[in-house]
Structure 1
Amino acid sequence: MTLRAVVKGVGHYLPERIVENSEFEKTLDTSDEWIRTRSGIERRHIAAEGQTTSDLAMRAARKALEDAGLTADDIDGLLVATSTPDLTFPSVATMVQNELGMTRGFGFDVQAVCAGFIYALANANALIVSGQAKTLLVIGAETFSRIMDWTDRSTCVLFGDGAGALVLSAEEGNGSTDDRGILACDLNSDGRYREMLYVDGGVSSTGTSGKLRMQGNPLFRQAVEKLTWTAEAALAKAGLDDSDLDWIVPHQANIRIIQGTAKKMGIPMERVIVTVQDHGNTSAASIPLAMAVGVAEGKIKQGDLLVSEAIGGGLAWGSVVLRW
């Protein structure tokens, strides 16, 4: 028998404030048409003043636990993927642990920017299949609005805030591709591409949080190539290929990247979960948000085969093959 990390519940949370593209026309040389054409984004959610990443993460976690029919007492640990923590330390995970009333187990953060949730899933999978944990909460949560340069029309219109969460539990499978759970992971990074997407501040450099900076066109070219490659690499590790997929659940960065990757993989857009129009790029939160929406809309069903892929600053990229 083979131990698998199986999804038991999913949940998400979005801040109440919705910012339509038209709002940016008041302060920037941009338009709704310009933003839609280049990114596919129509609106995004922005955290309220004083609302933190841990608050978003906690709300998504509670919904995932409810969906799984579990309580915090059933959780051995939690992993939070984020690049926008409340504080330099302690981790967002320990803050969520406290808010959930967990007095046992462990919590830690994973930082791989937009690829963070993929990295967190891979770590959670390793903890479960090695017997270190039986049930884990895996959360992606971001308040990217706090690191935006609101005068830079090339970046500030692209990002939003939100959180999504999965509950993963150990289950025995037969070792075949028919098993539910995580079937394969593929992780990569290359620090030579740092200048394409970074924040110009930090604890040991400027002592400030800094603002996000991006080279859009070069990053676009890297994204389509690397996302296609990592998705197909993970499928190959699982003994599967593109034709076996029911859904692609991609990082929701830009509709053109999503379309370009799907085209290279030969997957029609009807089999791609797309939420970028309503959420913008929520970094590490985008994949669990898309999964939660896909389930809520009746698209993703138990037994469906998914591949999720993401790329973010670093550059860091990766993918997970998962049977729901």
Structure 2
Amino acid sequence: MTLYSKITGTGSYLPANRVTNEALATRLAAQGVETSHEWIVTRSGIEARHFAAADELSSDLAVHAARRALEMAGREAGDIDLVIVASSTPDFHGSFPSTACIVQQKLGMANGSAAFDVQAVCSGFVYALSTADAFIRAGNHKRVLVIGSEIFSRIVDFNDRGTCVLFGDGAGAVLLEVSNEPGILATKLHADGSHADILSIPGNLAGGAVAGSGFLHMDGPAVFKLAVSVLEKVAHEVLDTAGVTPDQIDWLVPHQANIRIMNGTAKKLGLPLEKMVVTVNEHGNTSAASIPLALDQAVRDGRIQPGQNVLMEGVGGGFTWGAVLARM
């Protein structure tokens, strides 16, 4: 019997502190950094974002999102046999123990299920979902929690207006379960390490301290140019693999980084903008959390319906990119 995987629940969480462009501009002005609501919106489409509280960790955000996904699917934490967390802002420096293991503990899962993190920055959720699909198809696992969780407000330099206005915090999750009918129709992942320098945190731990910079560095124009190119190509790759044409896509859920990149991708695929889920205006760029956050919002407000084809795609530091085509 052929095994498939299917999304049975979605969930998301945003920290309580919503920060508008105006509020952020006021904060930055106090330290001599000039920006404005108009400047931010024109370049990114972002109007607001959420920042985590001082005592919130990526695992905390992830647990909130995971519980909502489990509730939608009618499952308990003990039903899960694998947890995968995509995050560039793990709970611990050095990345261990993994945030997935901390999530497992906070969910009260004492069943010895596997748990690990995936690091592909803004492509992290696509990478994690593709990995979960492969595990289920191989017969190794039946129910996998796939989570993207980020607190980027702690790794951006608030003296650099080119990056600090773009990112926000949040988490999104899906429950992926074994199925007799196709759910994840196709996946495609790529990476090109020759572009590692255009989006990175150029520091490392040495002697218990950060050597180099602990802040995010981004060459905006280079990232923009590469993203527009690879997103169109990987979309066609995954559609061709599934035998689906662009006109059969019901919803495009792209990584929510920049509205100009998102609009450009939709247009190149011949999709009306009405078929694209947009949350970047309210969430900012939440890296690995952005796709599941947007997916959950569109599921809960009734736009995404069972049986519809949803194309999810993202790009991230590494340089990484990928796409997943799912039938809901």
Same fold (TM over 0.5): yes
Superposition deviation, residue 81 in structure 1: 0.3
1:260 maps to which residue?
Answer: 264
> What is the rounded CA distance, in whole Å, between the counterparts of 2:120 and 2:206 in structure 1?
18
Query: Which amino acid letter does the alignment assign opposite residue 291 of structure 2?
Result: I
For structure 2, the residue ranges without an aligned partner over 5 or more in a row are none
Tell me if the contact between 1:199 and 1:210 (Cα under 8 Å) persists in the aligned partners: yes
1:15 maps to which residue?
Answer: 15
1:147 maps to which residue?
Answer: 155
Secondary structure at 1:203 match in 2: strand
Identify the match of residue 317 of structure 2 among 313, 316, 319.
313
Secondary structure at 2:162 match in 1: coil
Superposition deviation, residue 226 in structure 1: 0.4
> What is the rounded CA distance, in whole Å, between the counterparts of 2:326 and 2:308 in structure 1?
8
Percent identity between matched residues is 52
Identify the match of residue 269 of structure 1 among 259, 267, 273.
273
The question of 1:36 aligning with 2:33 is answered: no
* Pair 217,170 (structure 1): closer, same or farther in 2 beyond 3 Å: same
* Pair 233,22 (structure 1): closer, same or farther in 2 beyond 3 Å: same
Query: Which amino acid letter does the alignment assign opposite residue 195 of structure 2?
Result: Y
2:126 maps to which residue?
Answer: 118
Instruction: Please give the TM-score of this superposition, normalised by the length of structure 1.
Output: 0.96
1:101 maps to which residue?
Answer: 108
1:176 maps to which residue?
Answer: none
Superposition deviation, residue 193 in structure 1: 0.7
Query: Which amino acid letter does the alignment assign opposite residue 172 of structure 1?
Result: N
> What is the rounded CA distance, in whole Å, between the counterparts of 1:246 and 1:206 in structure 2?
49
| Counterparts of residues 42-53 of structure 1 (less than 5 Å) | 42-53=47-58
Query: Which amino acid letter does the alignment assign opposite residue 98 of structure 1?
Result: Q
Identify the match of residue 198 of structure 1 among 191, 197, 200.
200
Tell me if the contact between 1:115 and 1:311 (Cα under 8 Å) persists in the aligned partners: yes
Query: Which amino acid letter does the alignment assign opposite residue 194 of structure 1?
Result: A
Query: Could you report, residue by residue, the CA deviation over 1:150-196 in whole angstroms, capped at 9, with x for unpaired residues?
Result: 000000000000000000100112xxxxx3x1010000000111111
For structure 1, the residue ranges without an aligned partner over 5 or more in a row are 174-178
1:183 maps to which residue?
Answer: 185
Query: Which amino acid letter does the alignment assign opposite residue 301 of structure 1?
Result: Q
> What is the rounded CA distance, in whole Å, between the counterparts of 1:212 and 1:196 in structure 2?
10
> What is the rounded CA distance, in whole Å, between the counterparts of 2:78 and 2:17 in structure 1?
32
Identify the match of residue 133 of structure 1 among 138, 141, 144.
141
Query: Which amino acid letter does the alignment assign opposite residue 311 of structure 2?
Result: V
The worse-fitting range, judged by mean Cα deviation, of 204-213 and 52-61 is 204-213
Secondary structure at 1:202 match in 2: strand
Query: Which amino acid letter does the alignment assign opposite residue 203 of structure 1?
Result: L
* Pair 274,206 (structure 1): closer, same or farther in 2 beyond 3 Å: farther
| Counterparts of residues 59-98 of structure 1 (less than 5 Å) | 59-87=64-92, 88=94, 89-98=96-105
The question of 1:279 aligning with 2:287 is answered: no
Superposition deviation, residue 297 in structure 1: 1.5
> What is the rounded CA distance, in whole Å, between the counterparts of 2:123 and 2:16 in structure 1?
25
Tell me if the contact between 1:80 and 1:140 (Cα under 8 Å) persists in the aligned partners: yes
Query: Could you report, residue by residue, the CA deviation over 1:85-134 in whole angstroms, capped at 9, with x for unpaired residues?
Result: 01021000000000111112111000000000000001000000000000
Instruction: Please give the TM-score of this superposition, normalised by the length of structure 2.
Output: 0.95
Tell me if the contact between 1:201 and 1:207 (Cα under 8 Å) persists in the aligned partners: no
Superposition deviation, residue 204 in structure 1: 5.3
1:222 maps to which residue?
Answer: 226
Runs of 4+ in 1 over 3 A off after TM superposition: 204-207
The question of 1:293 aligning with 2:297 is answered: yes
Query: Could you report, residue by residue, the CA deviation over 1:29-63 in whole angstroms, capped at 9, with x for unpaired residues?
Result: 11000100100000000000021000000110011
Secondary structure at 2:180 match in 1: strand
Secondary structure at 1:59 match in 2: helix
